[in-house]
Amino acid sequence: MKKESILYSVTPFDPAGHRLKVRLTIQAPDPRGQELTLPAWIPGSYLIRDFSRQVETITAHSGNQTVAIKKTGNHTWLCAPCPGPLVLDYSVYAWDLSVRGAHVDESHAFFNGTSVFLGVIGQTQQPCHVEICPPPHTQSWKVYTSLPEAQGHTKAASRHGFGMYLAPNYDALIDHPFELGTPQVVSFTAHGALHEMVFTGVAPNLDLDRIAADTQKICAAQITLFEPETQAVPFLDSSDRYVFMTMITGDGYGGLEHRASTALVASRHDLPALGLTNAGEGYQTFLGLVSHEYFHTWNVKRIKPASFAPYDLSRENHTQLLWVFEGFTSYYDDLMLLRSGVITEADYLRLIGKVISNVQRTAGRLKQSVADSSYDAWTRYYKQDENSPNALVSYYTKGSLVAMGLDLVIRQASAGARSLDDVMRLLWQRYGRDFYRGLGSGVPEDTMPALVQEATGIDVADFIARYAYGCEDVPLESLLAEQGIALTWKPLPAPVTLDARLRTSNGSTSLATVYEGGAAHMAGLSAGDTLVAINGLQVTDGTSLERLLRAYQPGSSITMHVFRRDELRAFELILNAPAATECTLARVA
């Protein structure tokens, strides 16, 4: 098929109304009638999102003739048979300030292809040209993306310019998000490869050089982990650069991985300002996020579960292996901060202590394995409710503890000769390195025990069965002790507790989660109950509750008045000593 068989033209034509205008030209439409589809979900975020609901208007024509177009499903359209070229014009509402969607206003435009590019069914392997057009209200915007410019094309974009970009197929097209605007930008090279960091949003006096220097170390360390001999950079199969796109907000946090870029949302309070030498825990959180998404360049963007190779974007894709793809990535994200020297060992141990404490706090870890949590990500982890801490385990946090446990078991059984790094390298060599060169297959669901044994010589089948496919707690206390690290539990400072998570809003405090088996549960209190009084004294917020509870000891009985809906109810409650404890890790002198 000839050049430009699929051409998209995208314009942020109505910034005030948050609308993108898209023209899709198909040179050779299906003579039986062309079907089109928009993804139901975006890879990396395992929830059906129905991006098609943001398509506001859509028309089709061929030459001077209007072509009939109708919906044939939630995410699909069908055009009447017509000669080529078939041209579709549609508008997309873009007002989702998340890493998953599209967001347009007068200051910038960000979009994922999953929100914007209709897939041409039957032609998804065709190259896709994308012309990015400027908004009507300003000439000052630039274009940031890892999607390569269409080299040699008459309208080819210059670097960061408007004009033509080119994806080899639809799968690539929707894996290179775009940021248009006037962001703060810094770049660096790691093992010879260009990396750009793009910051959109208000952040005065941002210390870009410091962020770039720290990120450079993290990237270089990860490249060395996967390719210790060649230091080969993974994303050159898709782009000449890697792009970190960060939207800065007041208190945002999140990221989504792509094959040669990542979209991040970060709090401006987590980013270092010029002149600040100690940027603290918030900055470590940001660097941890950067490290996490970059690690996905290997682990999940190229090493993938078999059910993601290829993705079926019309429905849920189930795998029991997110504990490998998100859990291992969550283990390595902080570990790479330590290995690259951007945090100290004491910082690292503090971060790990927090993760262990968080996992331990949820009763759900004893009901659901990380393998099952992976499978049910679509309906449970991504659809959390008031009972989730009692019912679910996170394949991120517990998955990272399984990874740490595996790493320690392998190191100890091999007297330090092997580690989880060897497992990651074998996964990379077998499944990931050549994935986008057309040679990739996904990781089979049941391969991990054998693969770890092949990579390290250590039999971990029982470990994986118990801690990844079973619900047992990873025995980190003994494994860390072997490394000279003491894990200790200390009680929370409060003498008594309701065993519930609180939510305060508009001057009233309610129960957000009632922990299973705790004082509130045993008394009959429920999530959603609004606290009114303890033994006749008013509860206004979390602080007043804490003050009132100070008068009591574990075992004390109190009368608690609450509103359940609009009904005043009284419950007799026997207070507990805090069951939740905090874990600290320290190197033994």
Contacts with Zn ion by CB under 5 A lie at 326
Q: What single-letter DSSP state applies at residue 529?
A: P
Q: Which of 477, 432, 476 is nearest to 451 (CA)?
A: 432
Torsion angle in degrees (nearest 10) through CA of 305, 311, 316, 319: -10
- Provide, rounded to whole angstroms, the least separation between the CB of residue 538 and Zn ion: 44
Nearest 5°: phi and psi at 62? -135, 115
Residue 326 beta carbon to Zn ion: minimum distance, rounded to whole angstroms? 5
Kindly state the smallest distance separating residue 321's Cβ from Zn ion, in Å.
13
Quickly count: other Cβ atoms within 10 Å of residue 271's Cβ: 22
Residue 292 C-beta: closest distance to Zn ion, Å: 5
DSSP β-ladder status, 178-181 and 128-132: unpaired
Nearer to Zn ion, 52 or 319 (CB): 319
The owner of tokens 């330590």 is 338
Contact status, residue 458 vs residue 537, Cβ threshold 8 Å: no
Pick 196 or 333: Cβ nearer Zn ion: 333
Q: Which is nearer to Zn ion, 35 or 326 (CB)?
A: 326
CA distances from 32 to 75, 128, 187, 341, 419 (A): 19, 22, 49, 60, 56
- Rounded to a whole number of angstroms, the minimum distance from the CB of residue 30 to Zn ion is 37
Judged by CB, which is closer to Zn ion: 324, or 575?
A: 324
Query: Smaller CB distance to Zn ion: residue 109 or 290?
Result: 290
Q: Which is nearer to Zn ion, 196 or 326 (CB)?
A: 326
d(CA 281, CA 482) in angstroms, rounded, equals 28
Between 165 and 323, name the residue whose CB sits nearer to Zn ion. Answer: 323
Cα 321 from Cα 468, distance rounded (Å): 9
- Angstrom CA distances, 69 to 9, 33, 530, stand at 19, 9, 51
**DSSP-assigned beta bridge partners for residue 164:** 131, 156
Nearest approach, Cβ of 44 to Zn ion (angstroms)? 7
Backbone phi, psi, residue 73, to 5°: 180, 180
Q: Which two tokens stand for residue 218?
A: 């993290």
Nearer to Zn ion, 46 or 170 (CB): 46
What one-character DSSP code corresponds to residue 566?
Answer: T
Q: Closer to Zn ion at the Cβ: 186 or 324?
A: 324
CB of 257 to Zn ion, least distance (A): 6
CB-wise, 19 or 258, nearer to Zn ion? 258
Which residue, judged by CB position, is nearest to Zn ion in the bound state?
326
**Interatomic CA distance for residues 210 and 283, integer angstroms:** 11
C-alpha–C-alpha distance, residues 563 and 21, integer Å: 49
The answer to whether the beta carbons of residues 297 and 306 sit under 8 Å apart is: no
CB of residue 235 vs Zn ion: minimum separation in angstroms?
A: 17
Taking the C-alpha atoms of residue 370 and residue 392, their distance in angstroms, rounded to an integer, is: 9
The nearer residue to Zn ion, 90 or 332, going by C-beta atoms, is 332
Judged on CB neighbours under 10 Å (0-12, 13-18, 19+), 446 is exposed
Report, in Å, the least distance between residue 42 CB and Zn ion: 13
Please identify, using beta-carbon distances, which residue of 93 and 244 lies nearer to Zn ion.
Answer: 244
Q: Are 31 and 81 in contact (CB under 8 A)?
A: yes
First to last CA, the chain: 69
- Least distance in angstroms from the C-beta of 294 to Zn ion: 11
- The residue length of the chain stands at 589
Query: What letter does residue 505 receive in the DSSP assignment?
Result: E
User: Quick check: 158 and 149 in contact, CB under 8 A?
Assistant: yes
Taking the complex as a whole, the smallest distance from the CB of residue 448 to Zn ion amounts, in Å, to 18
Whole-number minimum distance, CB 46 to Zn ion, in Å? 11
